[in-house]
Amino acid sequence: MNITIKNLQKYYKDKLVLDIKQLEIESNKITGIVGENGAGKSTLLNIISGIDKNFCGQVYYDKKKLNKKIQKEITLVFQKPRLLNDTVYKNLYYPLKIRNTKKEDNKFKIEEILKNLDIESLKDKKALELSGGEQQKVALARALVFNPKVLMLDEVTSNIDFESIKTIESIIMNYNKYDKNTIILISHDKKLIKSLCDNVIVLDKLEVN
């Protein structure tokens, strides 16, 4: 899915934090977003993901405005994992349930993604009792399980160990390669951005006005 942003301005109270005339995020590519703290990276993904509707300008998804169908095809994984107070399995089941996927396929899909992320052993554990890094992987699994057309990742590797970063890196790479999906990722990890991204957007912090 291609994303086009036009004349985007975002204010928090009277403080302008984003001012983007035109921005294209291409389908089938991995786009990185970089910029210093407070540059508006998370705000931009909140807007693209439809979580933040309070902005001026337009965001188009394959030339269409956000609607219920598109909303279910895009997802954002937050820097701080937001999980349901239930087992890991149920956390992965819910995104499938609300998308009315075939019931008989769900178990297989969940097990496959748990295996890919190497977290099968966490399946029956309570999500909120896991470590930060484990929760981050579950949050990523929750997003990947329904095969979103646009996958947005906001600094998801920030509290994850080196080995797991490698796993996540290869998952992101393969996800893009085989499924032709759009991935947008925010990261401070220059190596990660360099090795994964086809395009990089640099956001500059706006001067205080």
Contacts with ligand ADP, residue ranges (CB under 6 A): 12, 17, 35, 37-43
**Six-digit token string for 202:** 């640099």
Q: Which does 37 bind (CB under 5 to 8 A by kind): Mg ion, ligand ADP, none?
A: ligand ADP
CA-closest candidate to residue 153, choices 64, 94, 74, 90: 74
Q: Which does 209 bind (CB under 5 to 8 A by kind): Mg ion, ligand ADP, none?
A: none
Q: d(Cα 63, Cα 70) in Å, to the nearest integer?
A: 11
Q: Which does 54 bind (CB under 5 to 8 A by kind): Mg ion, ligand ADP, none?
A: none
Residue nearest to Mg ion (CB): 42
The contact mask relative to Mg ion for 26-65 (x = CB under 5 A, - = no) is ---------------xx-----------------------
In the complex, what is the shortest distance from the CB of residue 123 to ligand ADP, in angstroms, rounded to a whole number? Answer: 32
Helix then strand then coil, % of the chain, to nearest 5: 40, 25, 35
Name the one residue in this structure whose structure tokens are 């080196």: 162
Hey, CA dihedral for 89, 92, 95, 100, is it positive or negative?
A: negative
Q: Which residues bind Mg ion (CB under 5 A)?
A: 41-42
